[in-house]
Amino acid sequence: METCYRHSDRETGVSCSNCERPICPDCMTSTSVGMRCPECARQKTKVKTLASVTTPSLTYVLIGINVAIHLGSFLSGASATGGSVGGSLITEGAVSRPGVADGELWRLLTAGFLHGGLFHLMFNMFALYVLGGMLEPAIGRLRFGLVYFVSLLAGSFGALLLTPTGLTVGASGAIFGLMGAAVIVMRNRGVNPMESGLGMWIGLNLLITFAIPGISIGGHIGGLLGGGLAALLMYDLSDRIRVPQAVTTAMVVAMGVLAVTGSIAISAA
């Protein structure tokens, strides 16, 4: 057992969250970032955020693709109000067990770029704009893209798992994945997700997911778990056991492959 650096006769299991020196109860100062020693408690803590000056260009590209495809779906006969999912683009691109069972694996990806109505599109694109503007500059374009597409595929897997019949569309699985990843990255950077408002936002969206009929529960939960696990591999695992970035990147890619494999197995059952 270590002893307090100021009181050598006092054993303690607590360390300063800044300098990591052992401190006893008399030397502890509670702060928003943990217990601090007297010296560190007097220092001003630098405010940590995820944002930087880097332009989230991939986020803008993804939004542009979603909007362009939705305009195309209007031309193919899709509903403008979202009252019914229709149109040849949605019929041929939405994720469904019969379609995947027939070998139409592109549905696992294209479903994430199709929407059932203008409100559906606007809600998802606003969320992508906010989350992408925060997360992409913080983790880089490559990792952001990995999280997005792995979350999308995990969302498709979740939708197939809980929706045996019917069609599922929307970028919500990828959006929920970004939420899950943002929580992990915030914790890794020393930012409290609850203080940022992200925790409340996730809770509200989960409440809506379970409260409103017609929303893909499997797609949302699958995406949330997929994005959160991808971020855990790339950040927490990498930091704790010093795994090279190339290895964690390969593991995240393997997650996407597993999501596709699971989708095929469920659809063929």
Active site amino acids: 172, 220
Contacts 24+ apart (CB under 8 A), 34-43: 37/5, 37/6, 38/6, 40/16, 43/18
DSSP letter assigned to residue 232: I
Amino acid residing at 172? S
CA gap 131, 186 in Å, rounded: 12
Angle between helices 198-211 and 172-188 (to 10 degrees): 150
Dihedral pair phi/psi, residue 114, rounded to 5°: -120, 145
How many helices (H) and strands (E) the chain has is answered by: 13, 4
